[in-house]
Structures are given as C-alpha cells and as structure tokens.
Structure 1
Amino acid sequence: MRRCVPVVEEAAERTKLWWGAALVMAAWGGTRGKRAALAGLTAMAVSETLSNAVAKPLWGRRRPPKELIPHDDVEDRPDSSSFPSGHTAAACGFTGAVAVVWPAAGTVCALPAAVVAVQRVHSGAHYPSDVAAGAAIGAASVWAVRRLPALLHRVIS
C-alpha cells in the first residue's frame, strides 16, 4: 500500500485519473464509450460542485491530527475543510455513472475509485466519515445525472 499511495494520489489530483479514463472510453469504446464518458464526467462535475462548493464551506472540519497517522508522510495536506472528501465524491460519481451506461467499464473503474477512497484516509487527508460522505455525494450525483433529462423534459414541456 505504501508504494502505490503516491501514484494513486498523483493520479487523483485534479481528477486526472477520471479524465484519462473518459478519454480512453470515448476513443475506443464506440458510442457506448462516449455515452459512458459523458455520463461519468457529468456526474463527476456535479459531485465536485456539491462537495467542494456546497458542503465544504458549510463544515469547517480540520484535517485529522498528525498523531493519528501511523506514518510520517503527512506534511503535504490540503488546508481546506476535511469534510467531505472531494476526491472520493468525484471518484464515486464518475464510476457510478459509467457503470450505469457501461457496466464492464464501471467495474474497471471501481478498483481505482476504491483505492482513491482508502488513500484519502491512509494519507491523513480525511477521516473515514469524510470519505463516506464523499461516496454518498458521488452516489447522489449519479442519481441526479440520471434523473436530470427527465426532470428538464417535464419543466420544458
């Protein structure tokens, strides 16, 4: 775990991992891949907005104290609120939306999404409850993205 943490942390920064996955799906997945990529990116955007622009400002939770982290790699942590985990929200939102459109691709995305969630706690950036809240926001974003076209259709009609 200690060896893969820096790799996962770097890939998850600024959602590079999910943009890369969307690019691969769109380039080689045909129409289904393009739909899955669009759904994933849309849910990721909703997740990030809800977690970073809505929820984080409401809760000023401090990051876990260094004394609780069982290793010394805790110097490079964000200054923003710990609650909820935006990385986890983005990972779960992207993965869940992709899985709805293309289950096989969603299954492939599930492993790195889980590693991102575990890494956020392991790195000392978040408490487990921050990660759980991020996952819930990601799931809610998938639901919203799936329902949005029907809701807009009703409003416009």
Structure 2
Amino acid sequence: MKFPSNLPTPSDIPAVSSLDDAIDAWCRDHRHPVADKFFYGVSSAADHSLLWNVLVAARGVRRGEPSMILRGAAVFGIESALTNGALKSLFNRERPEVESDEALPMGMRRPVTSSFPSGHATAAFTAAALLSKDSKHPALWYGIAGVVAGSRVYTRMHHASDVFAGAALGALFGAIAIRVLPLSRKRR
C-alpha cells in the first residue's frame, strides 16, 4: 500500500536497507512454531498499548495511587496520537513482504499504516522509561520492551530500522513524560 508522503525513510539509506533486508530474510528463514506462538502472542498483547496500560494500572493499585492509571492512559494516548497519527502519516514506508494473505495467528491484524516508525516499539520504550522510574528492576522493563519491539520484526510487521527508530522515539517520549506527566506524584 502506498501512502501520500515522500519523506525519506530508512529504506532510502542503502546500508540501512541492506541490513533491514538481511534481518527480514533471517526472520523469514528461521521460523519455529514455539517462537511463532510466543512472538505473535507478545505482539498481540501490546496492541493498542493494552499491555502497558495493564502494567501501569497494576503499579497504581499496588502503590495505592489509582490516579496513576489515568496518567498512564493519557501518556499512551498522546504517544499513540503522535506516533500512529501524525508521524506515520508523514512517511511512505511499506511493511515487510509476506508470502501469502493467510489469516494471521492469534487474532493479529496486518496494519494499513506506514511501517515507519513502529508504534509498538514507541509505546514499549515509552512504557519502559515510565515504569523503570523508581523501580528496583529497571532492566526488566527495558527487557520487556525489547521483546515486544523484537516481536514486531519477527512477525514481519516491521523492518528492524522501524523498530529501532520507534525505540529511540519511545525513550524520548518517556523522558518527556516523566517530566511533564509523571506516573506518580509521590517522591520515592
């Protein structure tokens, strides 16, 4: 599917395009039923920032700060509007090719928006920045974000450079959100 914009994307840089092609081919050639279930499941769980909203809600309840739920939803809503609405509409990047039009497993849908940047990766790293703040295990949150971001490449929804850009954008959004709309009002 073609999109209206002609802004450059990572595929316009030969070295990045070659790396994307190599990673796409590796993912295509190294499929496994167990990995399929895992990565398609992870990717589906993160649709519409559901995973991140649930994790923020659990933290808010556990810490006795129910307003954290609303602040988290606001951050993810703003992040999604900027990434999936504004930014994706500026770029014209097709998603990785797939072999057939078969139904995707686990209720996944093939997005119709531009592949660049990855909205899942942006949300994942926004969440990691927010959830790692005041956490005893910040690496855990970034690890979960990395798995979600990687799932988008494995499931052939994105090229690796889409995910890397989304991760960087998410880290930036997260850093801004921590200052502008932090999850917690309490000092820890």
Is 1:64 matched up with 2:96? yes
Structure 2: where are the runs of 5+ without partners?
1-34, 182-188
Three-state SS of the structure 2 residue aligned to 1:66 is: coil
Q: Take 2:52 and 2:137, find their aligned partners in 1: how far apart are those partners? A: 12
Deviation at 1:42, TM superposition (A): 4.4
Say what the alpha-carbon RMSD is for the aligned residues: 2.8
Is 1:84 matched up with 2:117? yes
Mapped contact 1:44–1:141 kept (Cα < 8 A): no
Structure 1: where are the runs of 5+ without partners?
150-157
Q: Deviations over 1:125-154 (max 9, x none)?
A: 1011100111111111122223337xxxxx
Greater mean alpha carbon deviation, residues 37-46 or residues 2-11: 37-46
Q: Take 1:142 and 1:50, find their aligned partners in 2: how far apart are those partners? A: 13
How many residue pairs align between the two structures? Answer: 143
Matches within 5 A, 1:123-134: 123-134=155-166
Label 1:143 to 1:110 Cα distance change in 2 as closer, same or farther (>3 A). closer
Deviation at 1:22, TM superposition (A): 1.3
Look up the equivalent residue of 1:9 and give its one-letter code.
S
Mapped contact 2:124–2:170 kept (Cα < 8 A): yes
Which is richer in helix? Answer: 1
Matches within 5 A, 1:4-153: 4-31=38-65, 40-66=72-98, 76-100=109-133, 102-104=134-136, 106-148=138-180
Structure whose alpha-carbon radius of gyration is higher: 2
Q: Take 1:66 and 1:95, find their aligned partners in 2: how far apart are those partners? A: 30
Look up the equivalent residue of 2:131 and give its one-letter code.
V
Q: Percent identity?
A: 31
Structure 1's consecutive aligned runs of 4 or more residues displaced over 4 angstroms after TM superposition are 37-42, 72-76
Look up the equivalent residue of 1:123 and give its one-letter code.
T
Mapped contact 2:95–2:158 kept (Cα < 8 A): yes
Structure 2 match to 1:153: none
Mapped contact 2:53–2:72 kept (Cα < 8 A): no
Look up the equivalent residue of 1:137 and give its one-letter code.
L
Greater mean alpha carbon deviation, residues 108-117 or residues 124-133: 108-117
